[in-house]
Amino acid sequence: MKNLVAGIDVDGIQTTFALVDEFGKIYAKGSFPTSDHKEFKNYVARIKEEIMALSGMLDIPHDISAIGIGAPNSNYYTGDIENAANLIWKGRLPLAQQLSAMFGNKPVVVTNDANAAAIGEMIYGGAKGMKHFAVVTLGTGLGSGIVVGGNVLYGHDGFAGELGHIKIVKENGRPCGCGRKGCLECYASSKGLRRTAVELLEGKNESTRLKNIPIEELTSKDIAFAAKAGDPVAKKAFEITGEYLGEALANLIALISPEAIFLSGGVANAKELILTPTKRAMEKNVMPLWKGKVKLTLSSLEYENAPILGAAALAIKEIQKKNTTVARRKIF
Amino acid sequence: MKNLVAGIDVDGIQTTFALVDEFGKIYAKGSFPTSDHKEFKNYVARIKEEIMALSGMLDIPHDISAIGIGAPNSNYYTGDIENAANLIWKGRLPLAQQLSAMFGNKPVVVTNDANAAAIGEMIYGGAKGMKHFAVVTLGTGLGSGIVVGGNVLYGHDGFAGELGHIKIVKENGRPCGCGRKGCLECYASSKGLRRTAVELLEGKNESTRLKNIPIEELTSKDIAFAAKAGDPVAKKAFEITGEYLGEALANLIALISPEAIFLSGGVANAKELILTPTKRAMEKNVMPLWKGKVKLTLSSLEYENAPILGAAALAIKEIQKKNTTVARRKIF
């Protein structure tokens, strides 16, 4: 009997799910549009139905031991999604509890996609065997999953790890979705990269292929494509993005002293274009004590499957935790 | 038989030690000048001698279960002091190992004073029962001890928690002892407070009692004294200090989501003078998610005894850890 887990990645548009083993091998995979169901209850029932169907199609004997879910604004401690701006259901959604009830009380755990990415890196990727590291996801926004002593840092309320909302520009910072100004994610994310490129385009008359694209249609992918072809403005936009990110990572290092930091997500998919300037700025700004000592690298998980692998790894991590019993003798 | 621990606080000038129980009651206490001994070996022997003498004077039957030491630049993982600028012995000093050998291999643990302060707060102070919090020590410099899941965050190499070396001023920052510029501790510490006051004095002709003190003699205590008496320049210096600190704490919260943050050390001894502006800036800058939710308060440990209580608590925490046995069953 093969032990598998289900990994589920929820975003505003798509819900993707897979059956995965402890080595990160994906046995079956599927997806459906998240907004298919107006009622949250029906959405949860659909997840169960889809996973059962996937399991039924698999022709090797297997057991689904646990279910891990990466979802926006979700809380590991409560199992709920809380006030997610990008989902159609509002308020507090008891995702883990409802799904677990449908699966005969199997362990179901949720966390946000950045924490799932960190666990994915730890179980399947470049952070195997590491106890202290961080994964920074550079998508539309900037998320981070911080691992301390082998466990994700969830903090007092389950929402720790908001590196994207470190304020890095004090005066006239860009407005952030969180309601404040100057947050890191306004600079180091696909949105941030785009805004930086637009500012560069407005300010200069330099020859650049980006001028051929109407500004409102310009995407971070266009910028990456142009930068790879050597376009100076596009390259400059990546350099500025990396500079902001590297400075923030130097601060992160001072607080958590990680063995390594991994970059993942869409912007990280531009590889050296973002890695090189980030590393330069990180090394320039970090305390002498850590110069040349903290590895900065790209996530080793395949970009396409990273979210579901992270979710699956979350389930595996949970089983490992449950198998650890703690006995205490008290003297003091 | 009473179970006691020895707590030792090492600084460049004085070595203070005490025998303490699990409730923070100090049974006996002593000190000697740290620089009495040119040879590190003799310094360690002196510690042993002093603790034995203290123990011999105590007329209740007792056992010293473990020894905790707060010392600059010390590493919990290795037990060594590493390249401490303020001590007369250079390089790597195997303090825990040598002292443990002299005490028949009793557990001896070291960490820096900020981490010891955090453990002191957890075992004896306002952080009892808390799993996620931070203690910020505002002394000559700024140290921080971060507790995550009930354990101090030492990081990969033992040196995590350097909140004082978060860069908070990007352009023309004050030069820092670490070799960089614009670190938080150049602004939020007794040195920082003093520099801020001096800048205010240079810039203005406002009436202030601080002008009666020659600038090279001005101390942070003078500034606190004047501020308490209502001096506007001294009060302004505290407000600016609190503003820098509060902004940095808002960033710390985004990363670790603590239940509470405690301020300790000399500058925190000015109580509301520093607490009020820090809280204001923290609440102004923190993400909406955490507004009004993270407690900012003064350490509840008596200022005078906080360092040795922190060191004693480190020893108690170590015994608690050793009494926790972990059994694992492996499925994945």
Six token digits for residue B14 = 């004085």
B332–A3 CB contact, under 8 Å: yes
Where does chain A hold its CATH 3.30.420.40 domain(s)? 2-111, 126-298
Q: How far is CA B156 from CA B75, B115, B317, in A?
A: 11, 15, 20
Give A126→chain B minimum CA distance, Å. Answer: 16
| Whether the Cβ atoms of residue B136 and residue B263 lie closer than 8 Å to each other | yes
Q: Average pLDDT, stretch B180-194?
A: 96
Which pLDDT value is given to residue B203? 75
Task: Give per-residue pLDDT as tens, B42-101.
Answer: 999 999 999 999 999 999 999 999 999 999 999 999 999 998 888 999 999 999 999 999
What is the spatial distance between Cα B63 and Cα B47, in angstroms, rounded to a whole number? 17
Nearest CB to B255; choose among A179, A247, A255: A255
Cα angle A170, A176, A177; round to 5: 155
Closest partner residue to A132 (CB to CB) among B22, B155, B179 is B155
d(CA B116, CA B152): 9
Is A162 in Cβ contact with B255 (below 8 Å)? yes
Residues of B in Cβ contact (< 8 Å) with A65 = 331
What are the mean pLDDT values of chain A's consecutive 10-residue runs (332 residues total)? 96 95 96 95 97 95 96 95 90 96 96 96 96 96 96 96 95 93 97 96 82 92 96 96 98 98 96 98 96 97 92 94 64 57
Query: Are A158 and B257 within 8 A, CB to CB?
Result: yes
**Cβ of A22 and B330 within 8 Å?**
no
Residues of chain B positioned with their CB less than 8 A from the CB of A146: 255
Partner residue facing B328 (CB), from A250, A255, A323:
A323
- Please judge whether B161 and A255 are an interchain contact, meaning their C-beta atoms are less than 8 angstroms apart: yes
Answer yes or no: is the ipTM higher than 0.85: yes
Size of interface A-B (CB pairs under 8 A): 166
Give A-chain residues touching B167 at CB under 8 angstroms: 247, 250-251, 285
Q: Measure the CA–CA gap between B312 and A13, rounded to whole angstroms.
A: 54
**Measured between CB atoms, which of B22, B146, B257 is closest to A255?**
B146
Which among A257, A316, A327 is the nearest to B157, CB-wise? Answer: A257
Binning chain B into helix, strand and coil, the percentages to the nearest 5 are 40, 25, 35
Report yes or no on whether pTM surpasses 0.90: yes
CATH of B126-298, one of 3.60.21.10, 3.40.50.2300, 3.30.420.40, 3.30.700.30: 3.30.420.40
The span from the CA of B308 to the CA of A109, in Å, is 42
Contact yes or no for B119/B314 (Cβ under 8 A):
yes
Which superfamily, per CATH, for A2-111?
A: ATPase, nucleotide binding domain (3.30.420.40)
Tell me which residue has tokens 């003798």.
Answer: A329
Count of residues for chain A? 332
Looking up tokens 């949970």, which residue turns up?
A: A318
Give the closest-approach CA distance of A212 to chain B in angstroms. Answer: 35
Under DSSP, the state recorded for A167 is B
DSSP code per residue over B83-121: S-TTSSS-SEE-HHHHHHHHTTT--EEEE-HHHHHHHHH
Q: Most A CBs within 10 Å: which of B1, B106, B136, B162, as the mutation test of the A interface?
A: B162
Yes or no, beta carbons of B285 and A167 under 8 Å apart: yes
Tokens found for residue A64:
């689904």
How confident is the model at residue A326, as a pLDDT?
55
Q: pLDDT: is B203 or B33 the higher one?
A: B33
pLDDT confidence of residue A331: 55
From CA B191, how far away is CA B1, in angstroms rounded?
Answer: 46
Q: At which residue do the structure tokens 């015994």 appear?
A: B319
Q: Are residues A156 and B326, on separate chains, in Cβ contact within 8 Å? A: no
- What six digits make up the tokens of A101? 């009830």
pLDDT tens for B149-171 read 999 999 999 999 999 999 999 99
Across the interface, whether the CB atoms of A132 and B146 are under 8 A apart is answered no
Which pair of tokens denotes residue A325? 């019993």
What pLDDT sits at residue B325? 57
In degrees, to the nearest 5, what angle opens at C-alpha B300 toward C-alphas B296 and B302? 140
Residue found under tokens 């730890």: A122
Give the confidence band of B322 by pLDDT, cuts at 50, 70, 90. confident
B245 vs A323, which has greater pLDDT? B245
Q: How far apart are CA B118 and CA A174, in angstroms?
A: 36
> Does the pLDDT at position B327 exceed 80?
no
Chain A residues in contact with B22 (beta carbon < 8 A) = 332
CB contact under 8 A, A254 and B287: no
Q: Give the residue among B171, B200, B176, B172 at the shortest CA–CA distance from B187.
A: B176
Q: What residues have CB less than 8 Å from B90, skipping those under 6 apart?
A: B83
Q: What are the chain A neighbours of B163 within 8 Å (beta carbons)?
A: 254-255
CA-based nearest residue in chain A for residue B133: A156
Secondary structure (3-state) at B32: strand
Lookup: tokens for B170 = 């990007």
For every residue of A169-201, DSSP letters joined together read --SSPPB-TTS-BSBGGGTSSHHHHHHHHHHHH
- Say if the Cβ atoms of B131 and A156 lie within 8 Å: yes
